[in-house]
Chains A and B, each alone.
Chain A
Amino acid sequence: MQAVATKLTGRRGDSLLFEDVSFSLQRGQALVVTGPNGAGKSTLLRMLAGLLPAESGTFVLSGDDGVAVPVAEFAHYLGHRNAMKRELRVSENLGFWKDFQRSEAAEGLSIDAAIEAVELGGVAHLPFGYLSAGQQRRIALARLLVVSRPLWLLDEPTAALDRRSDQLFAALVRDHLAQGGMAIAATHQPLGLDDTRSLVLAGRHRAASGSVESWS
């Protein structure tokens, strides 16, 4: 399985946020997108997830046999918000997403196992709204575990997390990569992942052309 982006261009209003962004990821690889505020990190990730149309360029996810597969069914997107309902219990929230995003390809973790994996054992019966911001973010990460999808698209995944939870998150991503997954994360903070590729969005807004330093 690999993910290939070719000459992606992102635009907000009249200004081009980035131009000619190209990269390719293989199984077990992660890409960290960095850059100043407003450089278009979120735009890029939403574009990859298919939530925004690309101005130009393509992003193709293809299976091991080389046939393209729909990103919507093979990628998890974690945005700024947690996609959980305050009034429902944690177990109900995760159970809903497990049912809703279920795929025939691979089973994810059970709800309890996912909650354990983010080290919040015991919160399953609590309404989501009772949790602190950091706990809520960790449950949002647990959503990625209850349904198994190869590509993770993470927008500021560690927002609201303390240092210890940062490490927890890095371990989760490492496990995911070790199992042959891929991850693309936009973040200001170092993720503590070794051997990652990085993509720097310079954040020079220009009407005519943008500048992108490619990943090393």
Chain B
Amino acid sequence: MSDTTASQGWFTSLANPTRFLALSGRVLPYLAAAAVITSVIGLYMSFTAPEDYQQGITVRIMFIHVPAAWLAMMCYSVMAVASIGTLVWRHPLADVAAKSALPIGAAFTFLSLLTGSLWGRPMWGTWWVWDARLTSVFVLLLMYLGLMALHKAMDDPARAARPAAVLTLVGFINIPIIKFSVDWWNTLHQPASVIRLDGPTIHASMLYPLLVMAIAYTLIFFTLHFMAMRNEIWRRRVAAMRRQAAQSIGGETRP
């Protein structure tokens, strides 16, 4: 995914949190506006797209289901890149990026499972099956939640950074498993139809709304991610200031 290489760019250029705050503050309004506009266009396109001859109206669920699943994986990839940043360059902002992406990734994973379930019920006749694709995405959700628990378990964010980064990278093996599960195993879930070596097998009338929705989701992700990162930086700043306040009170250093 191209976004992950781009993300590596920010971490090196926006070396210090203050500069990140200033820059993200300027970018955020445009990003949010772009997210809203693309979402509106995407929603319009997905409701005007023709119905599928097999699946009828339920095919419209695809336009919010598939991008959610993509974003769930992309978010994890962003976290994996950030984790490399934490481990290799020990960049404080990398940890902030990885940590604040967690709830967003969990939300997208949850959405892909939920909308998939709502799509599966009328199509397959069941809310849930334990097939490879569904199960591996469920495992992804568990990993998001586990990482959130790990961050929550440490009261000092600096101490959680490295263990969380290691765990994130170990868990990254799940991402290719999710992607190729439909090809490697015979499953109920349909095989990939957009991102394929021999080009998409999906009709253009459905492909375009899907792509627009994917762009909208990506913009929503980065908007939320920037906001969450800013919050996290402020949170750490507050913690640092409190520690400092504690040091200066009580006159232990006074004669």
Touching in the complex, A and B, CB below 8 A? yes
Residues of A at the B interface (CB closer than 8 Å) are: 86-87, 119-123, 125-127, 129-132, 134-135, 138, 162, 164-165
Least CB distance from A139 to B in Å reads 10
Interface-facing stretch out of B10-18, B107-115, B212-220, B238-246? B238-246
A87-B155, A129-B155 in contact; A164/B251 too (CB < 8 A)?
A: yes
> By CB atoms of chain A within 10 A, which of B155, B252, B254 has the most?
B252
Chain B residues 223-255 with CB under 8 Å of chain A are 242-243, 245-247, 249-252, 254-255
In the docked arrangement, what's the CA distance between A7 and B255, Å? Answer: 45
Q: Given the interface contacts A126-B242, A130-B242, does A165 sit within 8 Å of B252 by beta carbon? A: yes
Q: Are B251 and A131 in contact (CB under 8 A)?
A: no
Inside 8 A of B254's CB, which chain A residues have their CB?
Answer: 164
Please give, as numbers and ranges, the residues of chain B lying within 8 Å of A121 by CB-CB distance. Answer: 249
A119 to B254, CA, bound (A): 12
Q: In the complex, given contacts A135-B252, A164-B255, what are 10 additional A-B residue pairs having Cβ atoms less than 8 angstroms apart?
A: A86-B155, A119-B250, A120-B249, A125-B242, A127-B242, A130-B246, A134-B250, A134-B252, A138-B250, A165-B252
Shortest distance in angstroms between B252's beta carbon and chain A's nearest beta carbon? 6
Determine the distance from Cα of A132 to Cα of B255 in the docked complex, in whole angstroms: 17
A87–B255 alpha-carbon span in the complex (Å)? 31
Question: Which 10 interchain pairs have the tightest Cβ spacing?
Answer: A130-B246, A120-B250, A122-B249, A131-B246, A130-B243, A126-B246, A126-B242, A123-B249, A135-B250, A130-B242
Given A164-B254, A165-B252: A132 touches B155 (CB 8 Å cut-off): no
Residues of A within 8 A of B250 (CB): 119-120, 123, 134-135, 138
- Which residues of the other chain, A, contact B242 by a CB distance below 8 angstroms? 125-127, 130
Residues of B within 8 A of A132 (CB): 246-247, 252
Q: How far is the CA of A132 from the CA of B252 in the complex (A)?
A: 10
